[in-house]
Amino acid sequence: MTRSTTEGGLVELPGGDFLMGSDRHYLEERPQHPTRVKPFQMDRTAVTNAQFAEFVEATDYRTTAEIPLDPATAPSMPAAYFEAGSLVFHMTDGPVDLRDFCRWWKFIPGACWRHPEGPKSTIEDRLDHPVVQVSLPDALAYAEWAGRSLPSERQWEFAARSTSDEEYSWGAALNEGDEIHANTWIGSFPFHNDRTETAPFTQSVSAYDPNAHGLYNMIGNVWEWTIDAFQNAHDPGVNCCTPSRTIEQGKNYVTKGGSFLCAPSYCRRYRASARSPQEAHSSTNNLGFRCVGRAHLD
């Protein structure tokens, strides 16, 4: 069920004990383990294009994708990749080898948050969509300006799990008959999507019903940054520690929630426990973020 109104503001989450991770899916989600989250506040929705535009207008901020790279940082990389730009998803003409993500990801000069698919694209008709093509430093800069922070992985997963240990906030099944609960890939990935054939692939940040906490699109639409460095498996022994807020060049950080590219045949990371690594300075048109209240760092 889709919704047309944008819901904003922070939501109070009670915190508490829950089982984090999963032993049933991808290896990086293991081991499932008990943990605890303190009460905290989280944005009701992902940060929108309109909100990010206010930040840029107020600060003259330039995102990672808008700044050319220094060739000295990676002398073996093709020269075209040093231009200002970012990675953009493109549907293929037919079935391809799903082990080769280069078949559907292309580096596009000029792609950035204002032009998610490249210079000819615009956000004018999607101001209520999640901002994309933002790196982790970009997300942190916005959060600092807004007087907030980014969530830890633990906070994010608690918020997405809602009040149950089901695979999804709404129950045990991704979709139930004609009832669609999240913006994920419907059809044969990456060449046929029943919902759309062209960009934008994102939807409004308030599309679909919220979970039991009142949070929208914790699953699907776009991946969301967290502040935690990525490890190949959970380490229950460090769960009570505060994650570092220092971003390291070349280091991977945890993203959560899956995106419009998640499909049963390709990427089943449309679950609360799912997680994926992303290099801190990378950006794509299926990656965004939401904030937590600064007084509630976990």
pLDDT digits (tens, 9 = 90+) for 16-28: 999 998 888 888 9
The residue-averaged pLDDT of 140-157 equals: 97
The CATH code for residues 10-296 is: 3.90.1580.10
pTM score: 0.91
If one compares 3 and 244, the residue with the highest pLDDT of the two is 244
Kindly tell me if the per-residue pLDDT of 2 is higher than 60.
Answer: no
Is residue 11 a contact partner of residue 210, using CB atoms and an 8 Å limit?
Answer: no
Read off the pLDDT of residues 115-139 as tens digits, 9 standing for 90 and up: 999 999 999 999 999 999 999 999 9
**Does the pLDDT of residue 193 top 60, yes or no?**
yes
Of 109, 120, 138, the closest CA to residue 199 belongs to: 120
pLDDT, mean over the chain: 89
Q: Is the predicted pLDDT of residue 1 greater than 60, yes or no?
A: no
Beta strand 287-288 with 223-229: parallel, antiparallel or unpaired? parallel
Q: Give per-residue pLDDT as tens, 249-270.
A: 778 999 999 999 999 999 999 9
Residues 35, 32: Cα–Cα separation, whole Å? 10
Burial class (CB in 10 A: 0-12, 13-18, 19+), 33: middle
What mean pLDDT do residues 278-293 have? Answer: 96
Supply the pLDDT for residue 82. 83
Check residue 295 and give its pLDDT: 65
Q: What is the per-residue pLDDT for 165?
A: 66
Q: Where are the domains of the chain?
A: 10-296
- Per residue in 15-73, pLDDT (tens digit) is 999 999 888 888 898 998 999 999 999 999 999 999 999 999 999 999 999 999 888 77
Q: Is the pLDDT of residue 238 over 60?
A: no
End-to-end alpha-carbon separation of the chain, Å?
Answer: 33
Q: Give me the mean pLDDT over the 132-160 stretch.
A: 97
CA distances from 240 to 14, 36, 155, 157 (A): 17, 8, 12, 15
- 228: three-class secondary structure by DSSP: strand
Q: Quick one: pLDDT at residue 157?
A: 95
By the 8 A CB rule, do 213 and 159 touch?
yes
CA-based diameter of the chain, in Å?
A: 53
- For the cut 90, the answer to whether the pLDDT of residue 293 exceeds it is yes
pLDDT of residue 246: 60
- What pLDDT score does 163 carry? 61
> 209-233 pLDDT, tens per residue?
999 999 999 999 999 999 999 988 7
- Euclidean distance between CA atoms 101 and 272, whole angstroms: 23
**Residues 35 and 236 sit within 8 Å (Cβ to Cβ):** yes
